[in-house]
Amino acid sequence: MWGKDLRDVDADVYDALENERQRQEREGLELIASENFVPEPVLEAQGSVLTNKYAEGYPGSRYYAGCQHHDAVEDVARERAAELFNADHVNVQPHSGSQANFAAYFSVIEAGDRVLGPVLAHGGHLTHGHGINFSGTLFDFDQYAIDEDSERFEADHIVAKAKEHDPELIVCGYSAYPREIPFDAFREAAEETGATLMADIAHVAGLVAAGVHENPFPEWDIVTTTTHKTLRGARGGMIMCREELAKQVDKAVFPFSQGGPLMHQVAAKAVSFGLAQRPDFADYQQQIVANAQALAEGLQEHGFRLVSGGTDNHLVLADMTSKDMTGKEAEQVLEAAGIVVNKNMIPYDERPPMVTSGIRIGTPALTTRGMEESAFRYIAELIHQAIDGHDPERVQEEVQELCDEYPLYENEEPERTEVVQQ
Ligand SMILES: Cc1ncc(COP(=O)(O)O)c(C=O)c1O
Reduced to 3 states (helix: H, G, I; strand: E, B; else coil), residue 98 is helix
Residue 411's pLDDT is what?
53
Which residue among 175, 208, 257, 262 has the greatest number of ligand 1 atoms within 8 angstroms of its CB, and so is best to mutate? 175
pLDDT higher for 414 or 51?
Answer: 51
104 Cα: distance to centroid of ligand 1 (angstroms): 13
The angle at the Cα of 258, spanning 252 to 259, to the nearest 5 degrees, equals 125
Q: Using pLDDT thresholds of 50, 70 and 90, give the confidence band for residue 1.
A: confident
Q: Using pLDDT thresholds of 50, 70 and 90, give the confidence band for residue 390.
A: confident
> Cα separations (Å) of 112 from 134, 190, 194, 200?
12, 19, 18, 21
Q: Which of 62, 78, 80, 235 is catalytic?
A: 235
The mean predicted confidence, pLDDT, of the chain is 95
Eight-state DSSP code of residue 94 = -
Residue 406's pLDDT is what?
96
Domains and CATH numbers, the chain: 43-276 (3.40.640.10), 279-405 (3.90.1150.10)
33 within ligand 1 shell (Cβ under 6 A): no
pLDDT at 410 over 80: no
Residue 3's pLDDT is what?
83
Query: In three state form, how does the secondary structure of 406-421 look?
Result: CCCCCCCCCCCCCCCC
Q: What is the mean pLDDT of residues 83-111?
A: 98
Distance CA 223, CA 233 (A): 17
Nearest to 19 by CA among 420, 411, 415: 415
Q: Which amino acid is at 32?
A: I
Residue 421's pLDDT is what?
41
pLDDT per residue over 187-199, tens digit each?
A: 999 999 999 999 9
Q: Could you give the percent of the chain with pLDDT greater than 90?
A: 93
Is 144 an annotated catalytic residue?
no
- Cβ atoms of 325 and 406 within 8 Å: the answer is no
Residue 422's pLDDT is what?
40
Our CA dihedral for 258, 264, 267, 268, rounded to 10 degrees, sits at -110
Residue 378's pLDDT is what?
97
Distance CA 307, CA 331 (A): 17
139, HSE (Cβ side, Cα atoms, 13 Å): 30
- Max Cα-Cα span within the chain: 66
200 within ligand 1 shell (Cβ under 6 A): yes
Distance CA 212, CA 84 (A): 13
Helix or strand (DSSP H, E) at 273: helix 263-276
Q: Which of 25-34, 293-302, 404-413 has the lowest mean pLDDT?
A: 404-413
118 within ligand 1 shell (Cβ under 6 A): no
Q: Using pLDDT thresholds of 50, 70 and 90, give the confidence band for residue 393.
A: confident
pLDDT at 88 over 80: yes
Is 368 an annotated catalytic residue?
no
Q: Using pLDDT thresholds of 50, 70 and 90, give the confidence band for residue 412.
A: low
Distance CA 351, CA 353 (A): 7
Q: Which of 54, 113, 409, 417 is catalytic?
A: 54
Eight-state DSSP code of residue 58 = E
CB atoms under 10 Å from CB of 404, counted, come to: 10
pLDDT at 90 over 90: yes
Report the nearest-CA residue for atom 4 of ligand 1: 97
98 Cα: distance to centroid of ligand 1 (angstroms): 6
- Cβ atoms of 85 and 240 within 8 Å: the answer is yes
- Cβ atoms of 214 and 82 within 8 Å: the answer is no
pLDDT per residue over 17-63, tens digit each?
A: 999 999 999 889 999 999 999 999 999 999 999 999 999 999 999 99
pLDDT per residue over 128-183, tens digit each?
A: 999 999 999 999 999 999 999 999 999 999 999 999 999 999 999 999 999 999 99
Is 328 an annotated catalytic residue?
no
Reduced to 3 states (helix: H, G, I; strand: E, B; else coil), residue 244 is helix
107 within ligand 1 shell (Cβ under 6 A): no
Residue 97's pLDDT is what?
98
Residue 414's pLDDT is what?
44
- Cβ atoms of 315 and 330 within 8 Å: the answer is no
34 within ligand 1 shell (Cβ under 6 A): yes
228 within ligand 1 shell (Cβ under 6 A): no
125 within ligand 1 shell (Cβ under 6 A): yes
